[in-house]
Amino acid sequence: MIEDWVVVKVPISLVMAGVELPFIPMRECKRDELSSSGEMNFEVAFEELRCFMRNHGDEMQPQTLEAYKSTATVYAKLAINSQENSTNLEKVVELAYKAYEITSEPSFQLLSEVCALALQDDATGLGKIDTIPTRLIAAAHLFHNGNKDQAKEVLWPHLLELAEDEDIGRVVLTSFGFEGDIPESSQARVAALIACFA
């Protein structure tokens, strides 16, 4: 199926902030998704650049392709930053994975490795990446795909640490499906988190 592509102008503020391309090629059918309420949807911008590069990248001059990659990197980072108040940790990993696939940007590499292991449900491999954020993201992926035992295995070494901080504990409990008032004591938060895996 041949898709109609249009060129959409990028807000001047983004160009001044370092976005190399002053436009975004996008499919006509996605044009309305680019902005709502005057706010640009960075995830849509990234996905459209990614789609265009995958379909037409081999037709571009190396310098042009590099400009596209650089711009896609910026939009991927903006899309990830826009998820900061979300409890959907998997979305962040998915964006980083897709960004690393097309840009090879080192800052996306660790998250993309986590995503690859999580997609394989490799709890052993995930357990070797010993940082709380990566374990948390991996556990969330496993948990939401029905692998509660593996999710618990990945997260177990850090349960106390996660529950001690009230703000982090709240996000973690919500991410793992806890409903109701978040317990005030760290011990109660640990118990609630363990109950999520039951």
- Model confidence band, residue 48 (pLDDT cutoffs 50, 70, 90): very high
Mean pLDDT value across residues 67-74: 90
- Model confidence band, residue 37 (pLDDT cutoffs 50, 70, 90): confident
Q: How far apart are CA 18 and CA 10, in angstroms?
A: 12
The residue ranges of every structural domain in the chain are 1-82, 113-198
Count of beta carbons in the 10 Å neighbourhood of residue 167? 8
Q: Decide if pLDDT at 86 tops 80.
A: no
Q: How far apart are CA 11 and CA 38, in angstroms?
A: 11
Q: Would you state the pLDDT for residue 123?
A: 66
Structural contact between residues 49 and 65, judged by C-beta atoms closer than 8 angstroms: no
Q: Average model confidence (pLDDT) for the chain?
A: 81
Q: Would you state the pLDDT for residue 66?
A: 92
Q: Would you state the pLDDT for residue 87?
A: 58
What pTM was computed for the model? 0.62
Mean pLDDT value across residues 144-163: 81
Picking from 122, 182, 134, 180, the residue whose alpha carbon sits closest to that of residue 158 is 134
For the stretch 132-150, pLDDT in tens is 777 777 787 788 888 888 8
Q: Decide if pLDDT at 44 tops 80.
A: yes
Q: Would you state the pLDDT for residue 7?
A: 92
- Model confidence band, residue 2 (pLDDT cutoffs 50, 70, 90): low
